[in-house]
Amino acid sequence: MIHPDTEIRYVNDVIGVGVFATKFIPKGTILWVKDDWDIVMDKQTIKRLDDARKKYMKKYAYEEKEDEIVLCWDHARYMNHSFNPNCIDTAYELQLAGRDIQPGEQITSDYGAMGHNEEFECAPEEGSTRTRVTANDFIYCFAEWDEKANEAFKHFNLVEQPLKFLIQEQYLDKVNAVANGTEPLDSILTLFLRG
């Protein structure tokens, strides 16, 4: 589920729509968390779909495990990619605001953290030398992503968390321990080791 203070807005003719903050969202806030309403399918089910639904799944779903495709039930599926995202992935099936997000700012994540099998070119972005999302981005970028997640977690208990109740039970104790500073953050690499 995406943070409640967001909405879908038109970006441009090339990108289409994106997710935007409607209010100030401080660093460390859960922006997205996987919940039990998300639609999870295996690749064989996707292969049996008609062409229109296959195209939709290809554009808006993400691969979580080797044979598991997830389509977010809400407008989180419209979150766009950035090499300088304001949304940071974690090993706990949730994303945090990696910095303060202003009202009207687009919410973005780095698609490389999802371990995409398909590589694709992106428009160059100021502040990044990357121009391509690859299946191996997590190998080269995990330390940077972990550092940003660590910094975001330092603010976790200082901000309102309207999505905290959706953290999956298997992660709740660990998330609380990381936020309290009593346990170290698990690397995002653990997501790919699980898959």
- The per-residue pLDDT for 137 is 76
Tell me, yes or no, whether 145 lies in a domain. Answer: yes
For residue 3, pLDDT beyond 70:
yes
Q: Where are the beta strands (DSSP E) in 67-147?
A: 68-71, 80-81, 87-89, 94-97, 106-109, 120-121, 132-133
Tell me, yes or no, whether 47 lies in a domain. Answer: no
Tell me, yes or no, whether 62 lies in a domain. Answer: no
Q: Give the domain range for residue 98.
A: 6-38+73-194
* Span 39-67, average pLDDT: 88
- The per-residue pLDDT for 116 is 58
CATH number of the domain encompassing residue 92:
2.170.270.10
- The per-residue pLDDT for 192 is 65
pLDDT in tens, 75-98: 999 998 888 899 999 999 999 999
How many angstroms separate the CA atoms of 99 and 160, rounded? 15
Question: Model pTM?
Answer: 0.89
Tell me, yes or no, whether 60 lies in a domain. Answer: no
Tell me, yes or no, whether 160 lies in a domain. Answer: yes
- The per-residue pLDDT for 17 is 95
Tell me, yes or no, whether 43 lies in a domain. Answer: no
For residue 66, pLDDT beyond 80:
no
pLDDT in tens, 113-158: 776 566 776 777 787 777 667 777 777 878 989 999 999 999 999 9
How many angstroms separate the CA atoms of 133 and 94, rounded? 21
pLDDT in tens, 17-35: 999 999 999 999 999 999 9
For residue 165, pLDDT beyond 70:
yes
Tell me, yes or no, whether 52 lies in a domain. Answer: no
Question: What is the total count of domains within the chain?
Answer: 1
Average confidence score pLDDT of the chain: 89
Residue type present at position 173: D
Residue type present at position 154: K
How many angstroms separate the CA atoms of 30 and 163, rounded? 6
The DSSP output letter for 99 is: S
Tell me, yes or no, whether 151 lies in a domain. Answer: yes
- The per-residue pLDDT for 92 is 95
